[in-house]
Amino acid sequence: MRLEDATVGTIAVGDLRVRRLGYGAMRVSGARNAAGVRDRAEAIKIYRRAYERGINFIDTANVYGYGESEEILAEALHPYPADLVIATKAGFRPGKIEPGKTSLPPLGDPGHIKEECDKSLRRLRLDCIDLYQVHVPDPGVRYEETVGAFVELQQAGKVRHIGVSNVTLEQLAIARSLCTVVSVQNAYNAGTRNSESLLAACEEAGMAFLPWKPIQLDGTPAAAVAAAIADERASTTQQVALAWALAHSPAMLPIPGTSKQHHLDENIDAAFIELSKEEIARLESAAAPA
């Protein structure tokens, strides 16, 4: 079954319209073949499989796989189908995560942002990025300056739409005072709902909300509830988590990622699961919004 046959519908990303389940490409460059060896050909198959199943929104970033995620996307699908929307990001310092750290250091310097945009354009074989997102605020750079670089790129015709990621309500307000923001990407799922106020802001303003980690419920009370529902439905906990996200808000555009084709298919199949009101209530009660 293709995604357009599900009842989840579509969502606006600026003046573009996509189906309401995307693919997050953070892990695609690590795809492995049947022998367990990293395999670029397998990564290409995953991108192509995503589009074949009806996904037409792909979210990547300059730092995913040291640029390989973008390169492989171009190798897999360029020249791109007319309905495919590509989102990428900049705002971290490229490189390897240092021992003891959980992420790369932020780097919101305007010169760096502009340089990384040109690199992404080359890797993706694009003249203009559909959605360019501020990956993370840099505490060492005024957020106005970082977002301002994205605005200049948009004015130069290199960026069609601007989105923000990992933001607070205050940072979102700053960005919106400088440009039209069409999307917000923050960590969010049935068990981790600290960004509920950001989701509400998206609903009110007609922005898309892209939850990252939409299926990672481990360590939250919602995990046990989702697992119980999954057992009752003969599905997976991750599928229940995705079905909940899609039912929770029409602004939601989940972007689960994977480096395995069968997990990709399972994620897409989740769009065909319609949870009952009782099941949704059980998940809602498992984690009160923060």
Q: Summarize the chain as % helix, strand, coil (round to 5).
A: 45, 15, 40
Active site (annotated) includes residue 64: yes
Q: Could you say which of 23, 64, 132, 188 is catalytic?
A: 64
Residues 190 and 222: beta-carbon distance below 8 Å: yes
Residues 191 and 211: beta-carbon distance below 8 Å: no
Residues 65 and 109: beta-carbon distance below 8 Å: no
Which residues, in sequence order, are bridge partners of residue 255? none
68-94: buried (b, 16+ CB within 10 Å) or exposed (e) per residue? bbbbbbbbbbeebeeebbbbbbbbbee
- Rounded to whole angstroms, how far apart are CA atoms 56 and 68? 20
Question: For residue 29, what are its two tokens?
Answer: 């460059």
Which residues, in sequence order, are bridge partners of residue 129? 159
Catalytic residue annotation: 64
